[in-house]
Homo-oligomer: A and B are copies of this chain.
Amino acid sequence: MTDSSLFALLNEIGIIEQLARTRFERGQPDGLRLPQFTVLNHLVRLGDGRGPAQLARAFQVGKPTMTHTLQRLEERGFIRLDPDPADARGKRVMLTEAGRARRDAAVRWINDDLAPVATHLGMAPAAALPALAALREALDQARDSATPG
């Protein structure tokens, strides 16, 4: 066996991610980057009030990277960083109205941009969604147990 189908799948995923990322970033008029949008989207969908460290873990990203991304979002007025009343070390990432609006606009842009592709592909993406969700969950579970190189 040369390639497992899982390897082939990850291959496709890597290419698609790269295509989608550059497409998204080139399309934003204000230079909103994909990590920034991803954080906004996360806050809208899962709620705000969590701290940077928790977000960093959720996105599998270093704490300094999250600090940086949050600074950019705060500069743009899309989030507030409130002190955590329960923990003097901690901060709470709060979505602002502008942040919610910017996220919604980005989602609209994505849907508009993808509309031709979506009609061309039909229901195939919806059919593939459960498999990918299962894969994502499995990889997420397996985070700690990696094969030694």
Contact = CB atoms under 8 A, between A and B. Distances in A.
A23 B139 contact: yes
Contacts of A114: 4, 6-7
Given A16-B10, A16-B139, A5 B125 contact: yes
How often does this chain occur in the complex, in copies?
Answer: 2
Given A19-B143, A125-B9, A117 B135 contact: yes
A9 B128 contact: yes
User: What's the dominant secondary structure at chain A's contact region?
Assistant: helix
A120 B15 CA distance: 24
Interface of A: 1-23, 26-30, 34, 38, 41, 59-61, 107, 109-114, 116-118, 120-121, 124-136, 138-140, 142-143, 146-149
